[in-house]
Structure 1
Amino acid sequence: MFHIPQYVLEKLRCSICGSYLSSKPLMVRVEDQQVCGKCYKLLPTEEKEKCVRQIGLESIAEIIQFPCRYNTQGCSHTFNWCDEKEHEATCPYRSLISFSSERARYSNLDSINTFLHNDNEIICESDQIKAILLYDIKENTYTNEAKCLKYSLNIKGNCDHTITIKNNNTNEATGDVEIRMNGNIFLGKRPEVVYSDIKVKPIEHNIYETLTDYDLRDKKCTNCGNHNVKNHCLLGHSSCNKCQGNVCVECVKLLEKDSKTLCKNYPKGCRETLQFDNAHRHEVNCQYNDFKCILDPCNVITTLPNFKEHIKNDHSSEIFLTNEINKKFVNKDETIVIFYYGSIFKCVYFYYKTFVEFYVTFVGSSDEAVNYFFEITINLNGSLITKRSKCSNWNDVMLEKGITFDRVELLGDHEKKLNIQVNLKILNKK
């Protein structure tokens, strides 16, 4: 399981209850609002119909170790996805959070903490800096004593000024930021800071600058070649309105060359680390994709390594364990499964009135399928007709790699019933 940085976790919160997306199904609403599984189950039917399930995000969530939603208040409890077991409802650190947002999720709230002051605001400012302080004071309803002070302090530049900090760890690089401080103070006989957190949030600037009419001369979009250029990024890449997005396309291409990612089938056992721009090709051919058993009426769906074991153990009487078979074919479609070279081959015979066709599909990736071809030999009155073709892989269009025999080629002008003896052989180029 992976422990991911806090700033990434903050993007994995439910838009309704504020909790992490730690329960399934993970949904997204039309307004691009993420919804956790618990809140989705409580939505009205008309709201559920507007939601779309995020299958890709669920695959990532399966390998993430989630913290308690009150981890910023000091709770160190962690759990796997869909394994919360109502810890958050009884977490002792809940008392440090304002309950105004909690009531949407929990109906059995304790009545110990209520508000004495609600969202009080203090503003301090100078010519260059503005500080906004929000605070809540909670009291114990049984003793009427103030028990906890919760505060949030935002510091940012005043009158469109920015606060610039210098980072010594990155060669004294500078950046414009907004500073936020959050904390809780226990108001007992001896006040005690029970939680304190300081966050420095970078201020996002527009990465594009608008070009003047003079600059537009001989300019074209570096992505699509369109001459209707309006902007360019800070690195000088020109962009038309169609290609302009939140990030520059050309800048992203530079990053993709060095970026690494995990296969989408990591939860199923794939341990490949991929270049970002090659990830799709691998995932299409990954042996940990879902495979449905090719023998009817079996409906087993599993990964390719498990599928091979399933074929050998559960269908041993229905498959051939050799690369060469001799068989009679008549006017009826037929499917044969061969297990050889440690791989599965699906051989299909199609009968038509005017011709017959043979196809062999290698059940595996396209990179391995190119190593195999098949050979069909038919004995016609003592003369042998032999044809060869490549084995297709499971993502190929088979029509290009089949072997066809005309009916006239097999029977001449006779109208008798088709009954041919065929030798089918699967060969390895290696």
Structure 2
Amino acid sequence: MSEGSLVQFTDKLLSENIFTCAACDKLLTIPITLVEDVGNVCNECCRHNDWPGLPNTKLQMILKELKIPCKFHTTGCNERIMFENLRDHESNCKFHEKPCLMSHMGCEWKGVQRNFPSHFVEYHSDNVLTNQFNIFVIDVNIEEATNVTKLLKGKQECIIRIKKDEIGDYLVYTICDVKNTECNNDCIIKHVGQNGNCVETKCKISTLNDIQVTKINLAALRQMTDASDMITVQIKMSNSNDCKEFDEKILQYFECPVCKTLMKPPIYQCKFGHSFCSNCRPKLEKCPNCRALFGTTRNYSLEGLTAGISYSCMYHHLGCEETLMVNELDKHEAICPFKPYPCPLDDCSFRGTHSNIGKHLDENHKDRVIAADFYKTTVEFRLEQMIDFYNYQQKFYMVFDENIFRLSFKRNSDYSFWAVEVLRKKHDDSVFIYDIGIIDMRKPDRKLIRCDLCFTDTNCEELFKKCILFPNNILASYACNGMFTYYCQIRKRQ
């Protein structure tokens, strides 16, 4: 019988319900039992009803020789499978309709796997994270009954779900490829607490039909990261076939025996030749290996060999994948997008990357932040009241193009001072200039303008010694009804 004829023969038998269980109306399963006054029934129905009967071995033999259409043919599957492999295929079929993974949030969508990513992006966009480098950051409240579901879109698309176990002792992760394909990709999960400590675990990305879980002990996590409620979870997906291979026999000679990081110049050594990095050396009175005293000897031979080593960025534990030569490392680390920064406001304990410090200022300190490169205000000004304003000072923060500046205005009995500091630069080689303009509001075209370079790394004592200042008696001529108006504008030096 030809292939086409066999297909027609199979479909005819199926349409006449020859292979349909007389009890449940589903496709028969082996062993098939012929029950008197009932008909051919599947094994499950026979056992459930405790029916006596005879094995229908001939029908079983015919069924085993046929290719049966997948039961999900109505949703798009065109596969015909040998009967003995049919159950395995249908349990993994990508056309199997499943509910949305956000059903716990009330979503009633149900569909095939291929349509799930587009549905998720359209209806759950707040839960979609995108990063072309496959590095994602999620803030998780581990004190609550957590159930966080995110779609991670990068070089690969994955669903991650984070929740507590039923007892509440573990944080449970499931990470699945949304295309339901087997892959060799690893996933590194890092938990960063308020103290900067990091707890890291590694897992494989699974399929939706073969979900694997990873568990993190919450008590240990809190202790290691000093976390009470919120913790930052960083997910990094990488293909194990693309991982760079290092010659560990060479690298072990560059590992500092104290902090375990790769040493870079200057490298110090004790009199017996044990070497240490420049960060650890000042903390050591004696060599921890041989207890010998230190001098000022450096290991110049080892320093010379560092020119051939690629170093990981010091913020690699926060997600940076850069590896650079030693002469390029400092410049990169100064502007690394994963470098953590404290909030510039003294009374705020927030820490974040360069990109989210600006967002934090805008969301939490709007009364003190100007989201522009131009700021104009009117200030009370009376010469006879200057004594009351001795060392009067205000601070404002200006954010534009991901650069963050602090404008400080100070006044004493003789002068008014303006200073602008660069707190965070988007590019390390940028130089900025600030203009201070005094406006006579009676005649707006009459202005007094001075400019200077924005400050970097200047302490408070020196700040107002080199800044823009105007004598108060000159400002008095620009005052109107006891008030004077000034503006500050920041621009990049060309």
With the length of structure 2 as denominator, give the TM-score of the two structures: 0.35
More helix by share: 2
More strand by share: 1
With the length of structure 1 as denominator, give the TM-score of the two structures: 0.39
